[in-house]
Chain A
Amino acid sequence: MAETITEQDHRALLRLHDVQKRYGGVRALRGVDFEVHAGEVHALVGENGAGKSTLIKIVSGAEVADEGSVEVDGAPLGGGSTQAAMEAGIATVYQEPHLFGELTVAENVFLGRELLAGGRVDWATQRGRVGELLEQIGLDRAIGDVRVADLPVAEQQLVSIAKAFAHSAKVLILDEPSAILTDREIEVLFGVVRSLRAAGMGIIYISHRLDELAQISDRVTVMRDGEVVATRPTRSLSVRQVAELMVGHELRADTADRVVPTGDPVLDVAGLGRSGAFEALDLQVRPAEVVALYGLVGSGTDAIARALYGIEPADSGAVRVDGRAVRLHTARDAAAAGIAMLPGNRKQQGVFADKSIAFNISSAHLRYLAKFGFWFDRARERSLAQGFLTRIAIKAPGPDTAVGALSGGNQQKVVLARQLVRAPRVLVLEEPTQGVDVGAKEEIHRLVLELADGGSAVLVISTDLPEVLQLADRVLVVRRGAMVREFGRGASQAEVLAAAAGDNGDDPTSVAADAEGAPT
């Protein structure tokens, strides 16, 4: 692959020089230099928050760089307009397929850049072109005239790929396309990507699945904390090395002085599965134990959380709490079984933003807080909330402050406080510190450990690796809906990440030969 690139192909199609971007006080990009050559697939990797998305937004015209220059094929790109970027030759496939259900496949493919004859769309030419594209990616050409809403989801995703190939772009950006595709669809995708590379296009391939990189990419750029830490030929790196570059200096987990929990499991999950999401999940959490489920975006950990919450029930397997079999078909079932939860999407699922802190904390315990079982005790609600303000350092003027006025970290503390009113038997936390600043993060971690020390079984579901290692007594790694490895305390970030990203020695698709690969 990379060997066939000749000198003249090394023309840089995209060149970023010293690009800086700030969001408020956060420096998302700190002087990034990045180049994509004609006829190469350039992988871009990094942990969440490393700056990949910001980089892509700037290149695709959705954002403007504060400083630095972006050149496409030698010409400077005036940022801030997706249309200008498209005209300059940048095509982007976003992670979520942005398709319009009411429009046909052909219309979606050409949306915003219709082939016109006069003011009117040139339907005949468009249809012919779409037919070719669809055949190229292994779809029936007749679906060009079908409304996207009438297609199965898998085909919709292929359509979004066809969309990016429809226009004669110089640079194609694929933002985690494989996160939503099945293996077979990925093969189709790779086939098309290779033919585009052969045609001289420059392709930026963003992925969390490090095992894919060797299959498809020529070079890899690793980002961390808004900076490019390395750009290397893919052949020269193993999955393990890429993971180490992503993580940077090895942060040792704070093993503290936690005793190894014993006793019968409080939460006992056996063979749990939901078709299409995850399968045959076995896990036990003992009293006072913190277990983490770690997986990359798209691995299925979020679906496991929703199954335990009863929001999207599992369709096979069994869950026992304290030895009793429980049925988790609704969120109420989960609560009745003693499973308390901290949902991942705080804005949508966690808080009543325009209500007071006191209301938010008491809302799950109205009966518990009521006198004689019906008369709601406002004074008790307030004093309860006041207690939490000091106990877990929620920074707010008082219990009557609206939660929406608090910072993300403090909002999360309020949601957590709701679970602490009565110590739950099982606490399931999903991305407990997402979008939370460092200080609040530490306090939340302290709280979680405190809660576990009180005898609750805690299951943390997170894509934040340092957090997982910090909190968990055991880390269970999930990949493509299945549990692949288990680590105890003291595991290194790189080995956990490598396991999650698909580094198992016998897998023919893994990057190079990795001698230290996963012993299973």
Chain B
Amino acid sequence: MTATTGQVDQAPPVTRRRPRVRAIEGQEVALIGVTGLLWLVLSLATDTFLTSGNLQNILFTVAPIALIGIGMTAVIVTAGIDVSVGSQAAVVMVVIALLVRDAGFAFLPALAVAVVSGLVLGALNGLLVAYGGIHPIIVTFGTLNIYRFVALQIFGSEQVAGVPGAFAPIGGGAEGRVFGVPVAWWLTLVLAAGMWCYMRFWATGRHLYAVGGDAFAARLAGVRVRRRQISAYVLTGACVGLAACVLIGSGGLVQQNVGAGLELRVIAAVVIGGTSIIGGRGTVLGTLLGALLVGTVTSAVTLLSWPTELTQLFIGGFILVAVGVDLLRERRRSAR
């Protein structure tokens, strides 16, 4: 406090520590710390962790979750949620698998179809949320089932093998790496960087926060609320399209249950990354770090030959800690 005496003509401006908005938030710093610490411990505890093969594997498996997380962050910041991303991925994968196998599509056209079909599925969610007046969790829970039905309907009871070959450029093999880092991860980084800038500097990106903070007030302020909501779901759909290509490229078969449970891993990454589930707060950087932490823990449990179900325990713990930290911060703020 700087006490000024004798200043009578003007109301003295209150002088106080001014917490400015930082490029990296507290929660992100904490995540970097925790993940870094884990990496350090794992590097010392095992010979297998700090190998290029394992790190590439972690990055590659995290990529689809982080990719979808980019869109999901926008959705959750607008106080929405999209639980249908797993089913969306299934529809996209089935469509492109059949196109590649039966119609002989090459990598790039297939990628384009994947993104466009993801856009369409996301747009449907967005329109229902924005104009239907139904809670996003109900809307997307509905489309989760409908999209799954669509995937099964297109697919029948088949499974498709051999598709991964077409997606090798984005896949988990050596072909899918540039400078030793999986292409899928480069893609994630570029998209995440773009989204981070958009949500931080662009007017419409900032509006996402306003919509999630108080949609009515945002409308009064002249924010196009519905347009912002739809854009977030559409973006998520497009991200799902890209992630679907990565998932196909990860090898193995495309079969009926692809993408099941994906939504929970994505939402976990977003929440651990510090995005408030009630909207209005969150960053893509946090989501990226959240996804990385989840990937690290999964890998660690495997490398340490611990029972795999421990992964669930750890992820659950991280979610509760992340939400708890968020709550504490809110309380401290409102107590002032």
Interface of A toward B, CB cutoff 8 Å: 60, 62, 82-83, 86, 92, 94, 98-104, 107, 111-114, 116, 119-121, 123, 138-140, 142-143, 145-147, 149-150, 152, 155, 184, 188
Name A146's contact: one of B19, B218, B219 (CB within 8 Å). Answer: B19
Interfacial chain A residues near B336, Cβ < 8 Å: 152
A245 to chain B, nearest CB (A): 30
| Nearest 8 Cβ contacts at the A-B interface | A112-B222, A98-B217, A112-B221, A138-B11, A140-B13, A100-B213, A114-B203, A83-B222
Shortest beta-carbon distance, B327 to chain A, in Å? 14
User: B15's closest neighbor in chain A, by CB?
Assistant: A140
CB contact list, B10-43 vs A, under 8 A: 10-11, 13-15, 18-21
Closest chain A CB from B126 CB (angstroms)? 20
Q: Which residue of A lies closest to B216 (CB)?
A: A98
| Neighbouring A residues of B210 by C-beta, 8 Å | 100, 103, 111-112
Binding site for A on B (CB under 8 A): 10-11, 13-15, 18-21, 201-204, 206-207, 209-210, 213-214, 216-223, 280-281, 333, 336
Least Cβ–Cβ distance between A184 and chain B, in angstroms:
7
Q: Are A112 and B218 in contact (CB under 8 A)?
A: yes
Given contacts A98-B214, A111-B210, A150-B333, contact A140 B221 (CB under 8 A): no
Asked whether B10 lies within 8 Å of A100 as measured between CB atoms, the reply is: no
Also in contact, A121 and B10, with CB within 8 A (given A112-B223, A142-B18): no
Chain B nearest CB, measured from A149 CB (Å): 5
Given A83-B222, A120-B202, residue A140 in contact with residue B14 (CB < 8 A): yes
What are 25 inter-chain pairs, A to B, with CB distance below 8 A? Answer: A62-B220, A82-B219, A82-B222, A86-B222, A92-B220, A94-B220, A98-B216, A98-B220, A98-B221, A102-B213, A111-B207, A112-B207, A112-B210, A112-B218, A112-B221, A113-B221, A116-B203, A119-B202, A119-B204, A121-B202, A121-B203, A146-B18, A147-B21, A150-B19, A155-B14
Interface pair B218/A111, CB less than 8 Å apart: yes
Residues from chain A with Cβ under 8 Å of B13 in the complex: 138-140
Report the minimal beta-carbon distance from B36 to chain A, rounded to whole angstroms.
Answer: 27
The listed residue with most B CB atoms (<10 A of its CB), out of A107, A139, A188, is A107
B200 to chain A: closest residue by CB: A121
Name the A residues within 8 Å of B209 (CB-CB). 100, 102-103
By beta carbon, the residue of chain B nearest A148 is B213
Bound-state CA distance A121–B209 (Å) is 15
Q: Is the CB of B221 within 8 A of A111?
A: yes
Residues of B within 8 A of A98 (CB): 214, 216-217, 220-221
12 additional A-B residue pairs with CB within 8 Å, beyond A112-B223, A149-B333:
A62-B220, A82-B220, A98-B214, A100-B214, A102-B213, A102-B281, A111-B221, A111-B223, A147-B19, A147-B21, A150-B19, A184-B11
Alpha-carbon gap, A111 to B223, bound state (A): 7
Cβ contacts under 8 Å, A147 to chain B: 19, 21
Point out the residues of chain A lying under 8 angstroms from B204, CB to CB. 119
Of the candidates A60, A111, A188, the one having the most CB atoms from chain B within 10 angstroms of its own CB is: A111
CA A99 to CA B214, docked complex, whole Å:
8
| Chain B residue nearest in CB terms to A155 | B14
CB neighbours of B218 from chain A (8 A): 100, 111-112
**Interfacial chain B residues near A92, Cβ < 8 Å:** 220
CB nearest neighbor in A for B217: A98
B203–A146 touching, CB < 8 Å:
no
Shortest distance between the CB of B198 and any CB in chain A (Å): 9
Question: Chain B contacts of A62 at CB under 8 A?
Answer: 220
Residues of A within 8 A of B14 (CB): 139-140, 155
**Contact between chains at B280 and A102 (CB < 8 Å):** yes
The 8 Å CB contact of A120, one of B11, B201, B207, is B201
The answer for the CA separation of A147 and B21 in the assembled complex, in Å, is: 6
Nearest-neighbor residue (CB-CB) of A85 within chain B:
B222
Bound Cα distance A143, B207 (Å): 20
- A145-B11 in contact given A103-B210, A112-B222, A113-B222 (Cβ < 8 Å): no
Contact between chains at B21 and A121 (CB < 8 Å): no
